[in-house]
Structure 1
């Protein structure tokens, strides 16, 4: 079943969510408005029709921007949920089909309110195009300076990876950044350190290794604390989705100096894997900030990396 969902974005950056009415599957939960494609419809045509029927607005297709495609299974029903951002429309949205509608700040929305298939859409709205990672051989002082400089120039999702440093020193560095993280509305992920993220709380998450991904049976942090995961194939991407991770990195896309023996997957394979994943996916490996357009063209959320980012 092919379903299209509209993420209406207003001038203040708020998004519109709608509450499922009584008698429907997942009644009472919130979702992004939309519905099933009819025979012969393109996603854009279907979305314009659905927004007219559900909200009473005339959406401008020229303002549409593809966001993410989420393959999902509810019970024995397979669904492809295609999310499209909508930036311009005529009319005032009304709850014609939903119990209620609400404009919300995406960064303040409790994702537990959303139907499960809509949570990856919210993650894609929240996540930026860049995901910088500190160099593994950096000192704590060098990493701290690099992270603060990144925050100042607008980066909002960062990974602190210092495998050669004592765990408590790395946690101390993360703790010292929490005021700045709150001030900039940014998130810092600790590499592999679930306990440290739990201890530090708001503003700090964890980035799981593929080995951790395979060993866990449930999401290691509560909703609201970001969880990322390192993936290299379709199986690991599926594990990350089932675990409830907010996003994954997929690597290596291109040859890298740090792993010269690893065979790169290239953009076509990255695109096939990312499009089939049920969560946002960052391209990693041999890439820099200027590769965002390529990543987006190949179903990626954006790019992650060390060199060129920090």
Structure 2
């Protein structure tokens, strides 16, 4: 059965810091997966490049002209009666006002509400990718000063961070109380999402937006924890990515891409192997290890969700 190459668009509308909107379309009832919601797009014609195909499809379907778009995620999926390759792009600028030229219903939906809509099975990782930012900030250890750590956490969020993993494994109980108070304030004010590393003992993960599993905890876990928004994990190989996918994680970090001072003896993936692992993954992947915000364009071209880092992002502007 030939795999159908489909291009799809995650189209962002007017946004503010807390309420991003995405344009959805409902598939006509007589089509494959009819009645479900999807991200607009269509088939890539033979010998047609992906971006021109995206521009053509969105002009034909929605009467908009795409002026800025970037790769988001590629997903291969096998239905019982159809095989598809979804080549998904994030559209951030366009001219015109979207309208359903083919009679399809369209609707602007907040990112936080995407989970309330029924999508074809192949779209599930796309829904996740649409809700995740390009930068995944990982905190360092507290160090000598809790006040400095909290100031840096505030600066990171105030400068635009949307997703943070807390790794303060050496924190005492009183220090964690102060961190929790700070996180609650930042979440209320900025809507930042905060995950806690699974290596931290004695912390109630339900107070946060999710859990980031170490690769060791990933291998030991048999089922996805209930009642959490996000589950992510650290991966270093295709085997670990496969385990993560079976567990039902939402996204992974893949490392180390390049050499790091914290793990100088670790074998690095490098650009070629990293890109190949991302291509085969069925969940969004953040690049980690020896990276900073300046690597973002390369990460996107490699098919990654974005860049994850400690020193490369902590306390830095997200713009």
Q: Please indicate, yes or no, whether the TM-score normalized by the shorter chain is above 0.5.
A: yes
Q: CA deviation at 1:113?
A: 3.3
Question: 1:205-259 CA distances to partner (integer Å, 9 max, x unpaired)?
Answer: 1111223323334432457x12221011122223333433222111011111211
Structure 2 residue 61 is matched with structure 1 residue 54? yes
- Picking from 176, 183, 193, the partner of 1:177 is 183
Contact 2:45 2:53 in 1 (8 A): yes
- Picking from 112, 119, 124, the partner of 2:124 is 119
Aligned to 1:3: 6
Structure 2 residue 171 is matched with structure 1 residue 159? no
Aligned to 1:37: 44
In structure 2, C-alpha distance between the alignment counterparts of 1:140 and 1:68, rounded to whole Å: 40
In structure 2, C-alpha distance between the alignment counterparts of 1:196 and 1:251, rounded to whole Å: 25
In structure 1, C-alpha distance between the alignment counterparts of 2:7 and 2:177, rounded to whole Å: 42
CA gap 1:196/1:50 in 2 versus in 1, 3 angstroms: farther
Question: 1:129-173 CA distances to partner (integer Å, 9 max, x unpaired)?
Answer: 322212246368254332122112221211111223357864762
Contact 1:274 1:299 in 2 (8 A): yes
> What TM-score do the two structures reach when normalised by structure 2?
0.82
Over aligned residue pairs, what C-alpha RMSD do you find? 2.9
In structure 1, C-alpha distance between the alignment counterparts of 2:177 and 2:118, rounded to whole Å: 31
Which range moves more in the overlay, 298-307 or 151-160? 298-307
Structure 2 residue 275 is matched with structure 1 residue 268? no
Q: How many residue pairs were aligned?
A: 304
- Picking from 21, 28, 53, the partner of 2:35 is 28
Q: CA deviation at 1:53?
A: 4.4
Structure 1 residues without counterparts, runs of 5 or longer: none
Which range moves more in the overlay, 154-163 or 70-79? 70-79
> What TM-score do the two structures reach when normalised by structure 1?
0.84
Map of 1:1-310 to 2, 5 A cutoff?
1-12=4-15, 13-55=20-62, 57-60=63-66, 62-75=67-80, 77-86=82-91, 87-90=93-96, 92-94=98-100, 96=102, 98=104, 100-110=105-115, 113-136=118-141, 138=143, 141=146, 142-165=148-171, 170=176, 173-174=179-180, 176-192=182-198, 196=203, 198-200=205-207, 204-222=209-227, 225-310=229-314
Q: CA deviation at 1:189?
A: 0.7
Structure 2 residues without counterparts, runs of 5 or longer: 315-319
What is the SS of the residue equivalent to 1:307?
coil
CA gap 1:66/1:199 in 2 versus in 1, 3 angstroms: closer
Contact 2:64 2:98 in 1 (8 A): no
